Amino acid sequence: AQKVTQAQTEISVVEKEDVTLDCVYETRDTTYYLFWYKQPPSGELVFLIRRNSFDEQNEISGRYSWNFQKSTSSFNFTITASQVVDSAVYFCALSEEQGGSEKLVFGKGTKLTVNP
Amino acid sequence: DSGVTQTPKHLITATGQRVTLRCSPRSGDLSVYWYQQSLDQGLQFLIHYYNGEERAKGNILERFSAQQFPDLHSELNLSSLELGDSALYFCASSPRTAGTGELFFGEGSRLTVL
């Protein structure tokens, strides 16, 4: 069965520090999608990125970057020059397709606190 | 704004009661997924409907049921509520059944059972 592990339960940094959130996944599928979501204190799930298993290119979006490595089954997320507004819980997720249904398997989340 | 609408945003009720959570998917999306986020279990898949038909079930209790109507909105019914049912319930919609990786989440319905 699919599994997503976010080993870091909580991380605390000072503003302007870089921070990397780790995500390791397990799957037997050859085609799958990986996701990162942000959940601010208000509770909604904010989509950050979706990555197809065939696309191993790293991606950068502003202060955010993602490192996808199939060889180590990892999909890590780095925030450069962190800001207080980045404080949230971040979830990594893996799509699992079974019987014509595509559900997401989520990690437990990493709570990031950025202190001023 | 994902285009997925969930109501109500907050709901407080008592043990033993029954509630209905509603989800309107993005225009044109045929799939609706329900997820539960609790402190104990984290984010878990509950059930998936596609164009009115149930497609997959996850860790959904027998006290819970869902349906998707002809206009594609979906309702999640929670009955005989227990304290442990207090959670954030998310709905997500997708254009197809599977294979796209496109999932759009609503803002969630926060249920508190007292």
What is the percent of chain B with per-residue pLDDT over 70, rounded to a whole number? 97
Give the residue-averaged pLDDT of B96-107. Answer: 79
Indicate whether B37 pLDDT > 90. yes
* Residues A18-53: tens digit of each pLDDT: 999 999 999 998 888 999 999 999 888 988 999 988
Give the residue from A61, A73, A7 showing the smallest Cα distance to A34.
A73
Separation between Cα atoms, residue B110 and residue B113, nearest integer Å? 10
Indicate whether A99 pLDDT > 90. no
Give the residue-averaged pLDDT of B65-94. Answer: 96
* Residues A70-92: tens digit of each pLDDT: 999 999 999 999 999 999 999 99
Please give the pLDDT value at position B2.
83
- Residue of chain A nearest B104, judged by CA positions: A47
Contact with chain B for residue A48, Cβ under 8 A: no
Burial B69-90 (b: 16+ CB within 10 A, else e): eeebbbbbebeebeeebbbbbb
Residue B71 phi/psi, 5° resolution? -85, 5
* A82–chain B nearest CA distance, Å: 24
What HEC string does A17-58 produce?
CCEEECCEEECCCCCCEEEEEEECCCCCCEEEEEEECCCCCC
Chain B residues lying within 8 Å of A37, measured CB to CB? 105
- Residue of chain B nearest A91, judged by CA positions: B43
Please give the pLDDT value at position A98.
78
Cβ of B97 within 8 Å of Cβ of A100? The answer is yes
The SS3 call for residue A96 is strand
Give the residue-averaged pLDDT of B67-96. Answer: 95
The SS3 call for residue A71 is helix
Q: Quickly count: other Cβ atoms within 10 Å of residue B47's Cβ.
A: 25
Nearest to B45 among A52, A104, A109 (CB): A104
pLDDT band at B101 (very low <50, low <70, confident <90, very high): confident
The SS3 call for residue A60 is strand
Contact with chain B for residue A41, Cβ under 8 A: no
Residues A88 and A113: beta-carbon distance below 8 Å: no
Mean of per-residue pLDDT scores for chain B? 93
Please give the pLDDT value at position B99.
65
Give the residue-averaged pLDDT of A91-116. Answer: 91
Give the residue-averaged pLDDT of B66-83. Answer: 97
Q: Bridge-partner residues for A3, per DSSP? A: A26
Residues 6+ apart with CB under 8 A from B39: none
* B56–chain A nearest CA distance, Å: 6
Indicate whether B95 pLDDT > 90. no
* Residues A55-69: tens digit of each pLDDT: 888 888 899 999 999
